[in-house]
């Protein structure tokens, strides 16, 4: 603008040189000096100055020129609608790809055996299997009637077999008295039959081939040497033979025992009847 324009000729009226007493009241006193306030300039006065006017004109011109250039470039270089859509799709795809690459792709560590998974059920505590108790042997019977422990054990074997066979009490007494007479209730082997000594025995006799508690002879058909050396087997075949004697329950002990054994001393069995009854009573 020219300095002779009307806008340039307008001046801001200055403040009067002299201040009244009322206007001087806001002034501060510092020591002996008085602080004089700076003169105030109005907005129109600032805009009326030449440098400010030049700067405003230059700024407006630059803004109008930039706007014109952008508008012209936009008209000349605007891409077709299809190209715009393609560019938009590529931009979106690039953004998605960049987002997928930003994810953490480090492999997830496999759970170790030390830390069980939260869904895994704890295995139940295995209960120790109860130990099978070894079958306890029945207590050995207390000897009675002057017998040793070995003799009492053999008497028990005879009585137990008779009880299982449901032999009457009189038959049990006959069997025990017969064994007392034949072997003194000891399991005999035979010196004539060396095989008999291969089996458990408690004494050795020499009466032909007689073996076992009842001195039964294998040659007479009572059984094998091995079987007759077993107290349970010897007692069973004795009871079976006694049951074959007609009216044995009405006979005396000595006659019933003799009917089975056919001994050279038929009346020797009677002497053992009382002791045999005592043993049977202790075992039943």
Flag whether pLDDT at 257 surpasses 50: yes
The tens digit of pLDDT for each residue in 168-201 reads: 999 999 999 999 999 999 999 999 999 999 999 9
Taking the CB of residue 148, how many other CB atoms lie within 10 A of it? 13
Q: How far apart, in whole angstroms, are the C-alpha atoms of residue 193 and residue 189? A: 8
* Tens digits of residue pLDDT in 22-48: 444 444 444 444 444 444 555 455 445
Contact 188, 204 (CB under 8 A): yes
Cα separation, 177 vs 37, whole angstroms: 155
For residues 1 and 112, the model is more confident at: 112
Mean pLDDT lowest for which of 70-79, 123-132, 214-223? 70-79
Q: Which two tokens stand for residue 133?
A: 């108790």
Q: Please calculate the CA angle 53-57-61 and round it to the nearest 5 degrees.
A: 170
pTM as predicted: 0.54
With contact defined as beta carbons under 8 Å apart, do 233 and 239 qualify? no
Which pLDDT value is given to residue 135? 72
- Residue 58's nearest CA partner among 104, 128, 102, 1 is 1
Q: Do 242 and 256 contact (CB within 8 A), yes or no?
A: yes
Residue 134, φ and ψ in degrees, nearest 5? -65, 135
Name the least confident of 60-69, 163-172, 230-239.
60-69
> pLDDT tens across 233-255, in order?
999 999 999 999 999 999 999 99
Lowest mean pLDDT among 9-13, 121-125, 236-240: 9-13
**For position 280, what pLDDT does the model report?**
97
Q: Are strands 203-205 and 188-190 parallel, antiparallel or unpaired?
A: parallel
pLDDT at 154 over 80: yes
Exposure string for 210-236, b = 16+ CB within 10 A, e = fewer? bbbbbbbbbeeebbebebbbbbebbbb
Round to the nearest angstrom and report the end-to-end CA distance of the chain.
151
Tens-digit pLDDT profile for residues 104-117:
445 555 555 555 55
Three-state DSSP state, 25: coil
Structure-token match 């603008």, residue found? 1
Indicate if the pLDDT at residue 207 is higher than 70. Answer: yes
Instruction: Identify whether the C-beta of residue 198 lies closer than 8 Å to the C-beta of residue 190.
Output: no
- 63-72, 90-99, 131-140: segment of lowest average pLDDT: 63-72
């Amino acid at each position: 603008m020219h300095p002779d324009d009307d806008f340039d000729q307008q001046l801001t009226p200055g403040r009067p040189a002299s201040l009244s007493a009322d206007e001087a009241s806001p002034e501060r006193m510092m020591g002996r000096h008085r602080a004089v306030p700076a003169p105030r300039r109005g907005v129109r006065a600032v805009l009326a100055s030449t440098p400010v006017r030049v700067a405003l004109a230059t700024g407006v011109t630059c803004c109008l020129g930039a706007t014109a250039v952008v508008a012209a470039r936009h008209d000349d270089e605007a891409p077709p609608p299809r190209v715009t859509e393609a560019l938009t799709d590529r931009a979106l795809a690039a953004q998605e790809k960049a987002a997928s690459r930003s994810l953490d792709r480090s492999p997830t560590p496999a759970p170790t055996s030390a830390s069980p998974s939260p869904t895994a059920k704890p295995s139940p505590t295995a209960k120790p299997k109860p130990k099978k108790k070894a079958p306890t042997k029945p207590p050995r019977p207390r000897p009675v009637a002057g017998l040793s422990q070995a003799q009492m054990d053999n008497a028990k074997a005879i009585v137990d077999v008779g009880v299982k066979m449901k032999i009457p009490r009189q038959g049990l007494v006959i069997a025990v008295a017969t064994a007392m007479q034949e072997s003194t209730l000891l399991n005999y082997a035979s010196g004539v039959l060396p095989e008999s000594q291969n089996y458990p025995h408690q004494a050795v006799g020499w009466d032909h081939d007689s073996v076992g508690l009842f001195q039964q002879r294998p040659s007479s058909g009572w059984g094998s040497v091995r079987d007759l050396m077993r107290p349970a087997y010897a007692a069973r075949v004795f009871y079976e033979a006694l049951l074959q004697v007609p009216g044995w329950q009405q006979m005396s002990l000595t006659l019933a025992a003799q009917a089975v054994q056919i001994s050279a001393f038929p009346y020797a069995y009677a002497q053992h009847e009382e002791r045999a009854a005592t043993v049977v009573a202790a075992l039943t």
